[in-house]
Structure 1
Amino acid sequence: MAVPQQRDPARTLERLASWFGERDPRCTVTSVSVPGSGFSTETLIVDLRRAGAGERLVIRVAPTVHRVYPWDRFAEQVEVLRVLDKESDLPVPGLRDYEPDPSVLGAPFLVQDWVDGRVPSDYPSYHRQGWVAELPEPARRRLWFAGVDMLARIHLLPLGSVGAGLLDAGGAGRTSTARHLDRYAGQLGFFGCADDEVVSTALDWLRTHDPGDPVEPGLVWGDARIGNLIFDGTTPVAVLDWEMAAIGQPEVDLAWYLYLDRNLSEGIGVPRLTGWPDRAETLAYYERRLGRPVRDLGYYEVFAGFRFALVTARVTRLAVDRRMVPPGTDFPLHRNAVALLARTLAETTALPGQDRAR
């Protein structure tokens, strides 16, 4: 589901033409379009000509009207992207510019390189149809494990190279997981989940069973899923969407990667793609790449389900408020998310040690 159109296209083109022209008089903006993807950040595709040559760039605008998250961390996200672009070998789209002045587009925005490639679709689910479903089974497996490889590359980065102070929520003496959980738990009203029994039960369980910090916390991508990777064939050529980035345990990302895939199959009643690697295969592969056993994965899967239920509640409310769906429409996004969270919590708490890592 895309962020709804928030601005006049002709006026936007005029403003961006002026903005780019001030930076380079050789630059002429020829078109501005809005892609059909993205929950929380408005994205614009800008085509321009510079000294006679065509060029395409991507602009991501800080959320204002359509806010999925209650906090403003856009400047932090920009700085993380800047550091990753300059100081790591991760394939993040090159950061061209950052405009903190909201007078141009109504909010701060960043400018990044356009990256050619294909992205697995959430809507409709790649388990249901699309280019991923059309791949031969061996290619599908390579695609999935290439995403797992990217997780490991992120988690093996030295923390100092990504500016830990930018993302750490603070709280001396508290674990990284507790700080991460508190960020969401303190905003249940904003997300629209304050009275949700399943969400409250999950939160109580998460607070009671905090696994601590068995390894030094590092960079967590946040929205770590195959749908946030651009692929050339089965090779990732860009890692997208760092708005949920944090400092924490690597298992946070692995659990989200598994959980969001589960949501796009079991969560919406769609069979998984044949030959698609399962949880056990993924876990074993990731452990080899990370170089250590995964710990407390069941806990982090519940944590993933808890956060996803908050996000879907907020998106559902926005969809109704912005008339993206007619009033009274059965909009199953949040209902499905809560049902999957309830199953995940039941599975995790039913096993000895309350851990589904094995």
Structure 2
Amino acid sequence: MPVPVQRDHERTRLALADWLTARTPRADEVRVGPVRVPGAAGFSGEILLCDAEWTEDGTERREPLAVRVAPTGHRIHPDDRWTEQVRLLEALNRTDVPVAPLLGHEPGSSVLGAPFLVMRRIEGRVPADFPSYHREGWLAELPEHRRRAVWCGGVEMLAAVHRLDPRALGLGFLDRPEYGSGHLTQQLTEYTRLMPYYGADGNEAATTALAWLRENRPEEPGRPRLLWGDARLGNIVYDGETPAAVLDWEMAALGRPESDLAWFLHLDRHLSEGIGADRLTGLPDRAETVRHYERLTGHVVRDLEYYEVFAAFRFCVLTARVTRLLEESGIMPPGTDFPLHRNATRLLARVLEETVARRGGAAVPR
């Protein structure tokens, strides 16, 4: 579901051509083709697709581009931390985690009205959220053994991210000490303060889960790892069944890898059980996924149930914000029955109830 069109595409095309020409000194002129918005883009920022062509040393060159523009009017998070996202992508371009090569970025707003970055577009297919890949689309059409390969490839991307050394890559800027010490403390403090912004302060399931999360917070032993943040199949470009690029780092942080693994599992659960769809056969279940992840990383997964509640809570809160943005943008008129947040809320209540029951029925704070 793309963000609403926020610009004139012809003016954008010409502005990008001028910008690229100024940054391609060996080219007389860079020509940019029609600008388009991908149909499966997210709601947290503009993605613009185009092709650039130029002549360099007598040779015709062509580059497929993806331009990501910092969110302005339609923003899920109050702070997009844009500069940090650019620095993270620059660091990831030096690793074995497959990300789209960063070709340049513009920190100011004079060209497109907001900062933006330009990446080489990676061709491939992405499992869709709308409609869920469990219901239709290329993943559902694959035979079971190939679906399994797609899923395992996603887990391998998680492992590749978590094997990175944040200190060696200079990623300390992802820490949020203004919210306390440790990823969980920082996230819980931030969400507590921002519940009204997200529009979730009146959601009983969310406020109940937040109280439980604060009361049952586990230790965070060992050095923090890089967290992808929005770790899910829908943020991976596949070449066949092989991951070709990992997308969307706006939720990146430092913390325990269980946070990413739980989000990966929960988003898949939301797109199946959470919306009343049968989960695709052939996809490894939770237990097998954890075993595969542990084999890949050598990390023994602990406190996963807690992090699954944490994932369900965050997704519920974020869908409250998405629903509000859809209404404010006019994409969804007020009063429209849009089930995203309702489904996320229902699944959060279920996940919390299951976790409490497995832990012996400990009281849920009210």
**TM-score calculated relative to the size of structure 2:** 0.94
**How much has 1:41 moved relative to structure 2?**
1.3
Matches within 5 A, 1:85-96: 85-86=93-94, 88-96=95-103
Aligned partner of 1:29 in structure 2 is: 32
**How much has 1:150 moved relative to structure 2?**
0.9
Matched, 1:336 2:328: no
Aligned to 2:302, what secondary structure does the other structure show?
coil
Question: How far apart in 2 are the matches of 1:352 and 1:17?
Answer: 59
Matched, 1:4 2:4: yes
Give the conservation status (yes or no) of the 8 Å contact 1:220–1:252. yes
Aligned partner of 1:74 in structure 2 is: 82
Corresponding residue to 2:321 among 282, 303, 314 = 314
Q: Output one character per residue of 1:268-325: Cα deviation in whole Å (capped at 9) or x when no partner.
A: 0000011221111111111111213210001101111111111100110111111112
Give the conservation status (yes or no) of the 8 Å contact 2:179–2:190. no
**How much has 1:162 moved relative to structure 2?**
3.1
**How much has 1:172 moved relative to structure 2?**
9.1
Runs of 4+ in 1 over 4 A off after TM superposition: none
Give the conservation status (yes or no) of the 8 Å contact 1:56–1:113. yes
Aligned partner of 1:44 in structure 2 is: 48
Residue type at the aligned position of 2:93: D
Question: How far apart in 1 are the matches of 2:169 and 2:130?
Answer: 32
Give the conservation status (yes or no) of the 8 Å contact 1:80–1:163. no
Give the conservation status (yes or no) of the 8 Å contact 2:158–2:260. yes
Q: Are residues 161 and 41 of structure 1, via their aligned partners in 2, closer, same or farther at CA, if it must alter by over 3 Å?
A: farther
Question: How far apart in 2 are the matches of 1:186 and 1:174?
Answer: 16
Question: How far apart in 2 are the matches of 1:211 and 1:6?
Answer: 43
Corresponding residue to 2:64 among 48, 56, 63 = 56
Give the conservation status (yes or no) of the 8 Å contact 1:162–1:219. no
Question: How far apart in 2 are the matches of 1:97 and 1:301?
Answer: 37
Matched, 1:229 2:236: yes
Matches within 5 A, 1:180-191: 180-191=187-198
**TM-score calculated relative to the size of structure 1:** 0.96
**How much has 1:186 moved relative to structure 2?**
1.6
Give the conservation status (yes or no) of the 8 Å contact 1:168–1:247. yes
Cα RMSD (Å): 1.5
Corresponding residue to 2:108 among 93, 101, 105 = 101
Q: Output one character per residue of 1:58-105: Cα deviation in whole Å (capped at 9) or x when no partner.
A: 10000000101111301101100001102x111111011010011111
**How much has 1:222 moved relative to structure 2?**
0.1
Question: How far apart in 2 are the matches of 1:26 and 1:308?
Answer: 45
Q: Are residues 57 and 353 of structure 1, via their aligned partners in 2, closer, same or farther at CA, if it must alter by over 3 Å?
A: farther
Gaps of 5+ in 2: none
Aligned to 2:34, what secondary structure does the other structure show?
strand
Q: Output one character per residue of 1:19-56: Cα deviation in whole Å (capped at 9) or x when no partner.
A: 12222333111221111211201000121211133221
Aligned to 2:49, what secondary structure does the other structure show?
strand
**How much has 1:185 moved relative to structure 2?**
2.3
Q: For structure 1, which segment, 3-12 or 132-141, has the greater mean C-alpha deviation from structure 2 after superposition?
A: 3-12
Give the conservation status (yes or no) of the 8 Å contact 1:175–1:212. no
**How much has 1:180 moved relative to structure 2?**
2.2
Give the conservation status (yes or no) of the 8 Å contact 1:312–1:333. yes
Matches within 5 A, 1:229-308: 229-308=236-315
Give the conservation status (yes or no) of the 8 Å contact 2:179–2:189. no
**How much has 1:171 moved relative to structure 2?**
5.3
Question: How far apart in 2 are the matches of 1:118 and 1:353?
Answer: 43
Residue type at the aligned position of 1:79: R
